[in-house]
Amino acid sequence: MPELCKWLHEQLGQLPIVGFPLKLEQLPFNGIYFFYEAGETWGHGGGKSRIVRIGTSRDGNFRNRIAEHYLLKESSMDFDISKPAPHDRSIFRKNIGRVLLNRARDDYLGIWNIDFTTKKKREQYGYLRDIQKEANIESNVTKLLRQNFCFRFIIVDSKEERLELEKALIGTVAQCTLCKPSGNWLGNDSPDEKVKEKGLWQKQQLEHRPLSDSEMRTIFGAIRRTQQWIKSDC
């Protein structure tokens, strides 16, 4: 497993890294992203950055997914008790907000965890929300993401292929016995044991099987296509 994780990191290292500020038009419509975090290094020797989150999006929605994580659209902050906040659209943001609330021993964590994207939940629990408090947390999450996180991506157009690859990629990194979070990792204060244990900003697909030989070939090809796309379109 460590060898496979090392291979993945090294292959992705051939691609440029993207951080804030960024131009959405320089991103593909479909792909898989790999986030890195300042201060977090892999466990395979040297000081290379380790992957801390892997994700994808619905068909044609990759740019919007990245915009949701970094909060690139100002209108996203125009929410009230009848509208979900940005963290309800991005589990990445929700997980970082959980850390901030848990660090502060803030009971609002229970409200933050509720998924307000559904009308039913907004009608049931909307009265419990403190919109100004949520806005402040969202601003802090945005600051952390923009200052400390960057990402690489590969282009994968097929939705089915993308979703299967995402699972195997997460399993590969999550089950590496060498890539561990640092003592100063932000996620060490997460209330979620899976996040703390694996050192990743996610808790789904952590036990999924690792990449197969055919999927490794697919990733190799995707990296080549992504390199060509970057040269021609950017």
| pLDDT tens readout for residues 8-56 | 999 999 999 999 999 999 999 999 999 999 999 999 998 999 999 999 9
**Residue 4 pLDDT:** 96
Mean of all residue pLDDT scores within the chain: 95
Quote the tokens at residue 162: 């993308």
- Rounded Cα gap, residues 189 and 106, in angstroms: 13
Per-residue exposure over 176-204, b if at least 16 CB sit within 10 Å of its own CB, e if not: beebbbeeebbbeebebeebbebbbbbbe
The model's pLDDT over 71-118, given as tens digits with 9 standing for 90+, comes to 999 899 999 999 999 999 999 999 999 999 999 999 999 999 999 999
pLDDT for position 74:
86
d(CA 14, CA 207): 27
What are the structure tokens assigned to 164, written together?
């299967």
Q: What pLDDT sits at residue 231?
A: 87
Question: What is the model's pLDDT at position 233?
Answer: 64
Q: Which residues are CB-contacts of 93 (< 8 A; sequence separation ≥ 6)?
A: 68, 69, 71, 86, 87, 138, 141, 145
Tens-digit pLDDT profile for residues 128-177:
999 999 999 999 999 999 999 999 999 999 999 999 999 999 999 999 99
